[in-house]
Amino acid sequence: MKSALAFLALATIAAGPAMAAGWTMQPAKSSLGFSGVQTGTPFTGQFTQWSAQISYDPANPAAASVKITINTASAKTGDSQRDTAMPDGDWFDSAAFPQAVFQSTGFTPQGGDKFVTNGTLTIRGVTQKLALPFTLDVSGNQAVAKGQITLLRTAYGVGQGDWSTGDWVALNAGVNFTLTATK
C-alpha cells in the first residue's frame, strides 16, 4: 500500500511537466460540423461523438500535438434518410471503419492568432496528408481553436460506386470545428 502510494506520488511528479502542456477538451463548448451539397441543395450536419487529445505549450508551439478521433456513425444532419445512409457501406462504412482520425504535430504560427498544423486525416482507412489552418485564442486556462477546411470526399473513398461522381452529391465537403479546452 505504502509503496503504491509512493509510486503514485512519483508518477504524479514525473508527469508534471508533460501535464503543463496537456489540455482537456470541453465537449459542451466544442463542435465538429460538416457541410455538403446534395442535388444542388446545401445541408449541414454535426458529428455528435468525437474527442480530442491536445498537447500545447504556447512557449513551444512546434512541439504541440493534436489527435482528434471521430465516431463516424455519429454524423447527423436531421434528415433521417441521409442519416441512415451515411454510416452505410457507400459512405463512411462505419461498421468497417468506426473511427476517423486527424493527427498532427507542431503548430506553425501564421501571424496574429492564426496557425497551421500539419498532419494526416484518416477516413475509411484511407490516410491523406492535411494542413489544417485554425485560429487559437488562449485566455487564462481556456483555449479556443476554430477552423474550417474543404475536403475532397472521394480522396477518402467517401461515396462509393455511383456516388463517386458529383452528379447527386458534390465532391467537396466542408468541415468546421470549434474546439474548447481547459488546462
Question: Which stretches of the chain bind another protein, using CB under 8 A?
Answer: 38-41, 79-81, 84-85, 88-90, 161-163, 167-168
In three-state secondary structure terms, 154 is: helix
Q: How far apart are CA 70 and CA 38, in angstroms?
A: 23
Q: Residues 6 or more apart from 111 whose CB is under 8 A from it?
A: none
In three-state secondary structure terms, 109 is: strand
CB of 165 to another protein, least distance (A): 12
CB nearer another protein, residue 22 or residue 157: 157
Distances (CA, A) of 145 to 54, 92, 158: 11, 26, 26
CB nearer another protein, residue 35 or residue 103: 35
CB nearer another protein, residue 136 or residue 169: 169
109 Rama class: left (phi>0) / alpha (psi -120 to 50) / beta:
beta
Q: How far apart are CA 132 and CA 129, in angstroms?
A: 10
CB nearer another protein, residue 24 or residue 44: 44
CB nearer another protein, residue 86 or residue 121: 86
CB of 71 to another protein, least distance (A): 20
CB of 52 to another protein, least distance (A): 31
Strand partners, 16: none
CB of 77 to another protein, least distance (A): 13
CB of 163 to another protein, least distance (A): 7
